[in-house]
Amino acid sequence: MTGQENKGTAVVTGASSGIGAVYADRLAGQGYDLVLVARRANRLEELAEKLRYAYDRKVSFITADLSDDDDVRRVERLISADESVTLLVNNAGLGGQQVVATADADAAERMIKVNVIALTRLTRAVLPGLLARNRGAIVNIASVLAYETSFGGIYSGTKAYVVNFTEALQREVAGTNVKVQVVLPGATRTDFWELAGSDIDQLPKEIVMTADDMVDAALVGLARGEAVTVPALADAGKLDTFLGARQAFYGSLHANKPAARYAA
């Protein structure tokens, strides 16, 4: 890989395993240097050494818990000051099939901090630099559960935020050379499920995707300039229909008086 064009530095959160580790591998193979962010220092160090050897890229890592305010701000400072950053992959996330009435409030807060607040702050940290240099991309990993609440309102609510936040970002960067993509994976075989207290083997095998396949599809979508990538969706027209129907519905929500059906 020596002599390959350097595409700048990709920051990947949640990089110590699963989807994040696959992104790190693929991006190093595409010519990116890497900054890997995760909680588990031993895994980060092992992965960084493996990628340096395999791809002859610069690979550094930041050990950080993105549910910790001080850690998030430390990562912000480091990546906002790095002018080589051309790509941010906001992959870190916490899950859990939690019913609000019985959820552990502290666990719910940690999920919101990682899935929503850290993602927002890290995006804010790199976006001004990307716009100033007029190049680069931000990839936000959401979930198909952004559109389905059966897994619990807390998790699906955080992922709905990621979708809406990313769509607004896409409008914000329109007309520039900065790309913004939201990825909506379905069930993906990673240790995320075990950490969330669920058993992925209880799901039908035909709906469970490998992390390798998910990331490879998402990177194809990014290369094609897709704003929304759903790796499992066979008929892209269904996404267009859904988004179009949603926009039409929104257009019917405004009037100078309440609808007749609310008349006393």
Q: How far out from the chain centre does Cα 48 lie?
A: 21
Q: Which of 32, 155, 161, 262 is catalytic?
A: 155
Name the E strands within 105-250.
136-141, 178-183, 188-189, 209-210, 228-229
Query: What distance in Å separates the CA atoms of residue 57 and residue 153, rounded to the nearest whole number?
Result: 41
The 10 Å Cβ neighbour count of residue 134 is 10
End-to-end CA distance of the chain: 73
Active site residue 250: no
Half-sphere exposure of 202 (CA within 13 A, CB side): 5
Which positions are catalytic?
155
